[in-house]
Amino acid sequence: MALWGGRFTQAADSRFKQFNDSLRFDYRLAEQDIIGSIAWSKALKSVGIITELEQQRLEKALNDLLKQVIENPQQILGSDAEDIHSWVEGQLIQRVGDLGKKLHTGRSRNDQVATDLKLWCKDQGIELLAHLDKLQQKLVLFARSQQTTVLPGYTHLQRAQPVTFSHWAMAYVEMFERDYSRLTDSLKRLDSCPLGSGALAGTAYPMDRDQIAKDLGFRRATRNSLDSVSDRDHVVELLSTASISMLHLSRMAEDLIFYNSGESAFLDLSDQVTSGSSLMPQKKNPDALELIRGKAGRVYGSLSGIMMTLKALPLAYNKDMQEDKEGLFDALDTWGDCLMMAEFVLDDMQVHEETTREAAQGGYSNATELADYLVAKGIPFREAHHIVGIAVVKAIELELPLEEMSIAQFKEIAPEIEDDVYPHLSLESTLAKRQAKGGVAPEQVEYALNEAEERLASR
Ligand code: ARG
C-alpha cells in the first residue's frame, strides 16, 4: 500500500520505484518504527483523535506485529512497500482495518524516520559500548599476564627504548577508553525525541511532546521542528566515533601483524584467526588483523559519504537524507565486528618472551641510559648525547652491544665511564627508572592496571 497517491494520475515507473524505495535497508528500523507508532497512538488518544479503546486495539496489533518482526525480520523483505513506515502502516491496516488509517494523523514520515533512526542509534550505541568494554577487559587481562615481558618500543619503526608488552596493551586500553567516552557523549547528545515535529513545522495537534519523549525513553523532546526533521548530527557523530575507534583498531592490528611476522617473530596468532595460502603450504596469514586494518577504510568512506550528502542541504527534510542509513548501518556493523574480532585475536595469542627480550636488548636501545649515566657524572646532557653517539658507532664497528664493551673501550670515548656503568645498561634498570606517572616502570604499570581494573569493574 502506498502512503500517497491521491494527487497522482499515473503509477510510478517501476525503475523509479526500485530507485526510490528504501525498504531493502530500512527494514532494520522495524522494531523502532513499531515502538514509535505505539507512542504516537498514545499521543493521539491524549488529544482525542482516537478513543481509549481504539488506542488499545492499535497497541495490541502493533505489539503482535512487533513479536512477529522480532522472530523473523527478513519476512519484511518480501513486501513491495516503499519503506518500513509504509510497511508497518500497511500491516496495521490489514490487522485492524480502517482504524489503522487513523494512526498517521498529525505525523509525518519525516519526524517518524528521524525518531526511528535515533532509537536505533541508541540501541546500537549500547551494544557498541559493551563491545568496547569487553575489548578493554581482554586487553587488561592480557596486560596482567605480560607484566614482565620486555618488548622493544619503537619510534620510526626503529628500536627506541624497551617497554613491556603490558605497557603496550595498556596504551590501547587508553584509546578504547576514549572511544567509550566519546560514544557515551554522543549518545547523550542524541537523546532527544523528534516525534511530534510533523513534516517540518510541528504537529497541528496539541500534544505533550515531553510525554512522547518520555514514553520512548528519551531524555527530552527536541526544541525546533525544522531542526528535528533535518538533524543528522548523530549519524555524523557516530560515524566519527566509529572512525576514530577503527583508527585505533587498525593501529593495534598493524602492531600485531608486525609482531607476528617472520621478521620479528614476537608472537604466534592462533590458528583460529589466521588462514592459509592456496599455493604456499608454509603460510599462516594474519587475515583477521588485516581485515580489521582494511575495514577501517570503509568506515571512513561512510563518514565522508554522509558529510558530502548533508553538506549544503537546504532546510528541512530532503530525500537525500535517505542516504544516511546504509553507510551508518554498515559502519556500525563493521565497527562492532572488528571490536569483537580484535578481542578474539587477543584471546589466544602466544607471546615469545625470549625473542621479544632479545630484540629489546638489541638495536642499542639502552643508549639513552648511557647518556643518563654520564649526566649523573656531571656531563651536560647534550654533550653526553654526543659522546654516546660516538660510543654507538664504535660498538657497531666492534659488533658488540653497549653492555658488552669493556671499560677500556668505553674509556677511550669517555674517561668518566667506570665499572658501575653495567647495571645501568640492563633492561631491568632501563624499565625501573621510568617511574614518573605513565612510565613503563613495573610499579607504574601495576598502578595503571589497578586503575583500569577498578574502572571496568565499576561500570
Ligand atoms: N524513507 C525515507 C527516509 O529514509 C523516509 C520517508 C520520508 N519521505 C518523504 N517523502 N518525506 O528518509
Q: What is the pLDDT of residues 304-326, one digit of tens each?
A: 999 999 999 999 999 999 999 99
Distance of CA 110 from the midpoint of ligand 1 (Å):
6
Give the strand pairing for 158-164 and 150-155: antiparallel
- Residue nearest ligand 1's atom 12 by CA: 322
For 265, the grid coordinates are 617473530
Kindly provide the residue ranges of all beta strands, DSSP E only, lying in 181-277, ordered along the sequence.
Answer: 192-193, 220-221, 267-268
Task: Give ∠ CA 94-95-96 in degrees, rounded to 5.
Answer: 105
pLDDT digits (tens, 9 = 90+) for 41-91: 999 999 999 999 999 999 999 999 999 999 999 999 999 999 999 999 999
> Can you tell me which atom of ligand 1 is nearest the CA of 117?
4
Tell me: pLDDT of 273 over 90: no
Residues forming beta bridges with residue 243, ordered by sequence position: none
Query: For 278-292, how does the pLDDT look when each residue is reduced to its tens digit (9 = 90+)?
Result: 777 777 899 999 999
Average pLDDT over residues 176-188: 98
- Cβ atoms of residues 77 and 23 within 8 Å: yes
Q: What are phi and psi of 3, to 5 degrees?
A: -85, -10
Contact 113, 198 (CB under 8 A): no
Is a pLDDT exceeding 90 seen at residue 331? yes
253 confidence band (pLDDT: 50, 70, 90): very high
> How far does residue 186's CA lie from ligand 1's centre (Å)?
24
DSSP 3-state assignment of 115?
A: helix
Question: DSSP letters along 52-101, please?
Answer: HHHHHHHHHHHHHHHHHHHH-GGGGGGS--SSHHHHHHHHHHHHHGGGGG
- 264 is a catalytic site residue: no
Which amino acid type is present at position 249? L
What is the pTM for the complete model shown? 0.94
Distance 134 CA to ligand 1 centre (A): 36
User: Would the CB of 113 count as within 6 Å of ligand 1?
Assistant: yes
- Segment 387-400 mean pLDDT: 95
Segment 26-55 mean pLDDT: 98
- Tell me the per-residue pLDDT of 125-152, one tens digit each, with 9 for 90 and over: 999 999 999 999 999 999 999 999 999 9
Best substitution site from 120, 322, 328 to test ligand 1's pocket, by max atoms within 8 Å of Cβ?
Answer: 322
Indicate whether residue 22 lines ligand 1 (CB < 6 A). Answer: yes
112 lines ligand 1 (CB under 6 A): no
The whole-number pLDDT of residue 275 equals: 83
Query: 322 in ligand 1 pocket by Cβ < 6 Å?
Result: yes
State if residue 324 touches ligand 1 by the CB under 6 angstroms criterion: no
Q: How far apart are the C-alpha atoms of 322 and 303, rounded to whole Å? A: 15
248 is catalytic: no
CA distances from 16 to 3, 13, 67, 103 (A): 16, 5, 32, 27
Query: Residue 47: CB partners within 8 Å, gap ≥ 6?
Result: 106, 205, 206, 207
Q: What nine digits make up the cell of 12?
A: 510510478
Q: What is the pLDDT of residue 137?
A: 98
Q: What percent of the chain has pLDDT over 70?
A: 100
- By the 8 A CB rule, do 293 and 250 touch? yes
Residue of 145, 261, 277, 406 with catalytic role: 277
- Name the phi and psi angles at 324, rounded to 5: -75, -25
User: What is the arithmetic mean of pLDDT over 423-433?
Assistant: 94
> What mean pLDDT, rounded, does the chain reach?
96
The predicted structure's pLDDT at residue 1: 65
* Residue 115, ligand 1, Cβ within 6 A: no
Neighbours of 295 (CB within 10 A): 21
Asked if residue 321 has its Cβ within 6 Å of ligand 1, the reply is yes
Rounded percentage of the chain residues whose pLDDT exceeds 90: 93
Separation of 322 CA from ligand 1 center, angstroms?
A: 6
Q: Which atom of ligand 1 has the smallest separation from the CA of 22?
A: 1
pLDDT at 363: 87
ipTM of the complex: 0.96
Say if residue 213's pLDDT is above 70: yes
pLDDT of residue 277: 75
